[in-house]
């Protein structure tokens, strides 16, 4: 069943298309975590790592995606709720399934370390500046992005099963309905 809102705003992803992720997930959340919990992070992590994470903001300010949506490609920004929410929404709104390879999801080491200290899930963390692209030919998208100086990574495939599968080596799990963005833990004082 087609979602009316989706059909009015962008083309739908189709089974067989490649899933490409641009940039790195969790960047927006990592920046906010450093700003709000610097003293806690400083107890465990080197200052240079925190400064690098703060510098992610410069990349977000100038980041746009030089791709146009067509009937063969969809583009959506990964925002609140992180990559898992963006993947869930894509599948639900477009009436498709997906298989994504966890190790192919691009995440900066600085983001991982910040998330470990604060007990945050980087895959469910604010990810502005990161985009989710579905395309008939992911390699062409990745090459076009590279010519613009933007990293694109093949992450998986759109399927017709309606299952939302995340593979990690030999194991697989299904995406759960997304909850609140992990950044709320900072605001509630849980991190």
Taking the C-alpha atoms of residue 102 and residue 81, their distance in angstroms, rounded to an integer, is: 16
151-177 confidence digits (pLDDT tens)? 999 999 999 999 999 999 999 999 999
Weakest-pLDDT range from 9-18, 64-73, 78-87: 64-73
Confidence label for 148 from pLDDT (cuts 50, 70 and 90): confident
Q: Where are the domains of the chain?
A: 14-186
Q: Looking at 127-170, which runs of residues are DSSP E strands? A: 130-135, 152-159, 164-168
Contact 70, 138 (CB under 8 A): no
Query: Averaged over 35-47, what is the pLDDT?
Result: 96
CB 134 within 8 A of CB 17: yes
Q: What is the rounded radius of gyration, in angstroms, for the C-alpha atoms of the chain?
A: 17
Cα 70 from Cα 52, distance rounded (Å)? 36
Global pTM reads 0.89
Fold of 14-186: Phosphoribosyl-aminoimidazole Synthetase; Chain A, domain 2 (3.90.650)
pLDDT value for 188: 74
Q: 149 — alpha (psi -120 to 50), left (phi > 0) or beta?
A: left
Secondary structure (3-state) at 156: strand
Q: 5: pLDDT confidence band, cut at 50, 70 and 90?
A: very low
Cα 54 from Cα 80, distance rounded (Å): 19
pLDDT score for 6: 46
């Amino acid at each position: 069943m087609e979602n009316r809102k989706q059909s009015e705003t962008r083309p739908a992803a189709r089974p067989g298309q490649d899933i490409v992720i641009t940039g790195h997930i969790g960047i927006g959340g990592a920046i906010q975590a450093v700003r709000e919990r610097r003293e806690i992070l400083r107890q465990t992590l080197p200052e240079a790592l925190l400064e690098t994470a703060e510098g992610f903001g410069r990349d977000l300010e100038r980041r746009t995606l030089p791709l146009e949506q067509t009937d063969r490609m969809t583009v959506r920004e990964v925002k609140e709720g992180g990559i898992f929410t963006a993947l869930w929404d894509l599948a639900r709104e477009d009436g498709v399934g997906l298989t994504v390879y966890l190790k192919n999801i691009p995440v900066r080491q600085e983001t991982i370390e910040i998330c470990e200290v604060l007990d945050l899930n980087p895959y469910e963390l604010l990810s502005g500046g990161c985009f989710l692209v579905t395309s008939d030919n992911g390699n062409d998208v990745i090459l076009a992005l590279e010519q613009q100086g933007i990293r694109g990574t093949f992450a998986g495939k759109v399927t017709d099963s309606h299952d939302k599968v995340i593979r990690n080596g030999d194991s697989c799990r299904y995406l759960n309905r997304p909850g609140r963005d992990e950044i709320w833990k900072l605001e509630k004082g849980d991190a």
